[in-house]
Amino acid sequence: MKKTVTTLADGRELIYYDTRDDAVRTAVDTRPLDSVASATELRHDALLGDSVAVASHRQGRTYHPPAGECPLCPSGGGRQSEIPAPDYEVVVFENRFPTLAGESGRCEVVCFTADHEASFADLTPERAALVLDAWTDRTAELAARPGVEQVYCFENRGAEIGVTLAHPHGQIYAYPSATPRTALMQRHAAEHRARTGGNLFDDVVARERADAERIVLETAHWTAFVPYAAHWPYEVHLYPARRVPDLRALDEEARTEFPQIYLELLRRFDRIFGPEEPPTPYISAWHQAPFTGADREEFALHLELFTVRRTSGRLKYLAGTESGMSAFSNDVPPETAARRLREVAGK
């Protein structure tokens, strides 16, 4: 992997990731851009104990531009985008409309391909491996920044999820503290350790493998399953065989095998509802351990992939009980979801 670091016209960092060592990235961003002015404020919720990022500047972010004006496509034909080069493999840059900035953290955009019409599932294994390298590199670099406690790599796909740019891309958030969801998992892991002497994540994966009914895919170095208490209609958790706290600690065997199993999962997601349905909207989320704390090694890196589509033409909305009380219900039994994801293999 070759990494080339440069800056955009307003001073934001942009990084090219290339598979070829002889790739030359000298294009310059000549747009007349003003400096990024973010006004993020983290406000503590005294009742729930979490924080809310108030980021009013995001109201003006780019919203569903026509394909010819996509800011994530390469520059060319007299039009300049966020990526100055006329072509690229994988690019990461600071978000112009960040939710987190400065002491509150950092937000980055990850472009998986220059092809506006593609999706992650269309990538070659080599390109998916390069994206994994980029995620890992960004995790390492952001971990070294003062005030960063956790790094979250994720992809939102589809208008139903709320995506405002159709180009295949993801995001990386560097948080100043552990997220509430991670802190909750850590608390339950500590309680499980005190009660049983075992690791919660290891025991969950072992139970799913022993049961086998909810296993979707299993290889030498990865296990993908629909969790016993899935919150979403179709939800898959992907764990490496060897427990590690974050992407930096994945061994070469797991890294080599990841593109094949992940691309297969994404392709199966697109087959769930049949060929007449538009591409399945989803969220794909890497869960990594916070960088400090005695219980860091107890955490297990894993990816959670889920969709809000519950059946053809119908979405699962987070209505009264989910939004108001965080009490989920699921219309699709996890065993049914796992069976369907096994059925659509290779179609």
In this structure, what token pair is assigned to residue 194?
């005190």
| Residue 122 structure tokens | 């269309």
Residue 180 structure tokens: 């509430």
| DSSP class of 76 | B
Q: Identify residue 195 by its one-letter amino acid code.
A: R
What 3-state class would DSSP assign to 238?
Answer: strand
DSSP per-residue letters across 268-300? HHHHTT-TTSPPPPEEEEEE---SSSTTGGG--
Tokens of 323: 């939004």
The residues near 320 (Cβ < 8 Å, ≥ 6 apart) are none
Q: Are 127 and 135 in contact (CB under 8 A)?
A: no
Rg of the chain over Cα atoms, rounded to whole angstroms, equals 20
Q: Which listed residue (44, 167, 169, 188) is catalytic?
A: 169
Q: CA 39 to CA 87: how far, in whole Å?
A: 33
Q: Are 43 and 67 in contact (CB under 8 A)?
A: no
Say if CB 250 and CB 212 are below 8 A apart.
no
- C-alpha span between 58 and 241 (Å, rounded): 40
Helix or strand run (H / E) with residue 44: strand 41-44
Q: Which amino acid is at 43?
A: R
- β-bridge partners, 128: none
Q: How many residues does the chain have?
A: 347
169 tagged catalytic:
yes
Q: Tokens representing 343?
A: 């059925």
Give the pair of three-digit tokens for residue 233: 């209609």
Residue 335: other Cβ atoms inside 10 A: 14
Sequence-ordered list of residues with C-beta below 8 angstroms from that of 333, at least 6 positions apart, any chain: none
Q: Please list the active-site residues.
A: 169
